[in-house]
Structure 1
Amino acid sequence: MLAYITVICFVITFLSSNIVSADKGSVELSEYTFDKIVSKFDAALVKFDVAFPFGDKHDAFVALAQEAKELDELLFAEVGIKDYGERENEILGLKYGATKESFPVVKLFLKGKNEPISFDETKGFTSEELRRFVRDNSGIYLSLPGCIRDLDTLAIKFQNSAKEEREKILKETENVVEKLDTQDAATGKIYKTIMQKVLEKGDEFIGTEINRINKLLTGKISNEKKKELASRINILQSFSFSSSNKKDEL
């Protein structure tokens, strides 16, 4: 017990003294602290980069780290690598395939797994794609753009329940939607409508609707309509996510 408390105190002390920025939500790791810290978390999203990172990719990583900073089981960390002087963390970077030519490199480390999972940025190095990457590979739920956290929780609960319980959750959802302000009310009604359609048509409605909207997105529509449809897909994925890899919620 004493040993466990000692480890926890070490982690807390380390995180407190190594926060990159009070509102960034990520910590700096080195070759000396990397294994000790990463191993303490269910999941750790680590960016290997230059010692003083900047640019859109860095900003995307920081934005998601800030958004998810309340999740105790998920660590966001950065390893700054120097190719000059004492070449700090260079060997650690090479161990995970991070070189000057490939920066930034993002890896997801999962407790119990020997090898990390590499982030594929072919679809874009954005906060949204990083969020999907974490969700899909860790089971830790991160709300997507256009979603409402409380209603995401109900969507997950709905999809994992029997029909009788789903009807009760629909009522609960309606009560939540009624209390939303004008800005969120329209979004809330989408959750309610999806639940009604699932009760009427079955779970296959989720996949069918996602496919239908994806086809619409390939057509000639305004940017405003594209944004609206993309948000609807994100809400639908709140339902589909829960049926396979739910772990925690944000």
Structure 2
Amino acid sequence: MLRNFVLPVVFLAVLSASLANTSTGSVELDEISFNKVINKFEASLVKFDVAFPYGDKHDAFVALAKDSKDVDELLIAEVGVKDYGEKDNEVLAKKYGATKDNFPVVRLFLKGKNDPIPFDDSQGFTTDELRRFVRENTGLYLSLPGCVRNLDKLAIKFMKAKGENRKKVLKETEELQKEFSEKEAKSAKIYKTIMEKIIEKGDQFINTEHERVKKILSGKVSDEKKKEIGIRINILQTFHLYDKQPNIPTKEDL
């Protein structure tokens, strides 16, 4: 009787220790569980890193895992690689171009696609950049700085509409704007302006405007201006999510 009782207790203790090493909201994968788990999700964002990661980049990844806890279609996971002993997960990491010389490496796996999409951290390895990367390549909703959920819904509704129906959505946006706080009202003004320009110039405005503001951002601008432009890019991306027909269809209700 005692033996039967001890074994489950020992098992639970080991399990608890394993979970303690896993970031909140993130799942720890290995060479055995990797394919079994990621194949169950529409999208899986995986970080290949040292077995016991730390630092700003790891913190940024952890923050995204916490922020996306309610997005059921998205898995946030980590593969810890050991460079000692039996070198756990080293072969799996190398398969996706990750070694101790370039850790951490992030890959986005999409259901039904053979090759993952690499995360380019040249613009920074931050929570916002990771969030933007996931949104751009999946169409899944992850809030970005400056974006407002209700306005994001209207932006996608606007892109799906045609002709006079777009003017109706613009009117909805103007009405909703009256209910916002001062901070949200600033963002609402950007949504409204983009809608007006699309009605005037066509859907191509999204790409041309995106390139224009990116060019400004690459020059010498103040930190405050960078923040303003970053918000504009984030809002433009919401319109772009539907326009580019992402790999995972954007839900009717974000």
Distance 1:201 1:244 in 2: 17
Q: Which moved more, 1:32-41 or 1:133-142?
A: 133-142
Distance 1:226 1:71 in 2: 29
Is residue 235 from structure 1 mapped to residue 235 from structure 2 by the alignment?
yes
Is residue 34 from structure 1 mapped to residue 34 from structure 2 by the alignment?
yes
Structure 2: runs of 5+ lacking an equivalent: 1-14
Match of 2:250 in 1: 248
Change (3 A) 1:115 1:220: closer
Change (3 A) 1:77 1:237: same
Deviation at 1:68, TM superposition (A): 1.6
Is residue 79 from structure 1 mapped to residue 86 from structure 2 by the alignment?
no
Distance 2:234 2:88 in 1: 40
| Structural RMSD (CA) | 2.4
Deviation at 1:144, TM superposition (A): 2.7
Match of 2:110 in 1: 110
Aligned-partner residue type, residue 42 of structure 1 = E
Q: How many residues align?
A: 233
Structure 1 counterpart SS, 2:115: coil
Match of 2:138 in 1: 138
Structure 2 counterpart SS, 1:168: helix
Match of 2:97 in 1: 97
Change (3 A) 1:93 1:64: same
Distance 1:242 1:141 in 2: 12
8 A contact 1:143–1:152 mirrored in 2: no
Distance 2:183 2:242 in 1: 26
Distance 1:201 1:142 in 2: 28
Q: 1:12-91 maps to which residues of 2 (within 5 A)? A: 18=19, 20-21=22-23, 24-91=24-91
Aligned-partner residue type, residue 103 of structure 1 = F
Distance 1:93 1:212 in 2: 38
Distance 2:71 2:250 in 1: 9
Distance 2:34 2:205 in 1: 44
Aligned-partner residue type, residue 248 of structure 1 = T
Q: Which moved more, 1:103-112 or 1:173-182?
A: 173-182
Residue identity (%): 61
Deviation at 1:218, TM superposition (A): 4.7
Structure 1 counterpart SS, 2:151: helix
> So what's the TM-score if we normalise by structure 1?
0.83
Q: 1:79-228 maps to which residues of 2 (within 5 A)? A: 79-228=79-228
8 A contact 2:47–2:106 mirrored in 1: yes
Change (3 A) 1:18 1:35: farther
